[in-house]
Amino acid sequence: GSARVSPEALRPTCPPPAAQPRGRILGGSEAVSHARPYMASVQVNGRHLCGGFLVSEQWVLSAAHCLEEAADGKVQVLLGAHSLSQPEPSKRRYDVLRAVPHPGSRPDTI
C-alpha cells in the first residue's frame, strides 16, 4: 500500500543550530600551541582527512575509516602543526609508505 504524507510532517522538529560548526570541537577550547606534539593530521592530496597520533617514531594510529576515503590519493601525515590553515616552521609532512588496516576492520560496519 501507500500513504500520503503532508509536507508539514516532513519538516525538522529540532530548531536549527545557532551556528554551523567549522571543524572544531563543540564546547572545546584551543590547545596551548604545540602542547600535543604527538597529534597528527592524516591527509590525502594535501587535504586533512582525519586526525591521528604518533605512537612511535615511524607509526601513526588513526581511525579505521580514515583511509577508506583515500582510494587512489597520495596519503601523507602532517606533524608539528598547531594550525592546519596557517604557515608554521614546525610543520613536517611525511609520505605514508604503508597503511596497515586492523585485521578486524570491516568497511561495511563503519
Structural domain boundaries of the chain? 35-109
Residue 70 CB-half CA count within 13 A? 23
Residue 90: pLDDT over 70: yes
Q: Rounded mean pLDDT of 8-15? A: 53
Helices H / strands E in the chain, number of each: 0, 5
pLDDT at 68: 76
pLDDT at 93: 96
| Span 15-53, pLDDT tens digits | 555 444 455 667 888 889 988 999 999 999 889 999 999
pLDDT at 13: 52
C-alpha cell at 39: 597529534
CA atoms of 17 and 52, how far apart (whole Å): 28
Contact in structure between 96 and 55 (CB atoms under 8 Å): no
Question: What percentage of the chain carries pLDDT values higher than 90?
Answer: 41
Highest mean pLDDT (candidates 4-13, 19-28, 63-72, 80-89):
80-89
pTM of the predicted structure, to 2 decimals = 0.71
Fold of 35-109: Thrombin, subunit H (2.40.10)
pLDDT at 21: 44
C-alpha cell at 20: 554551523
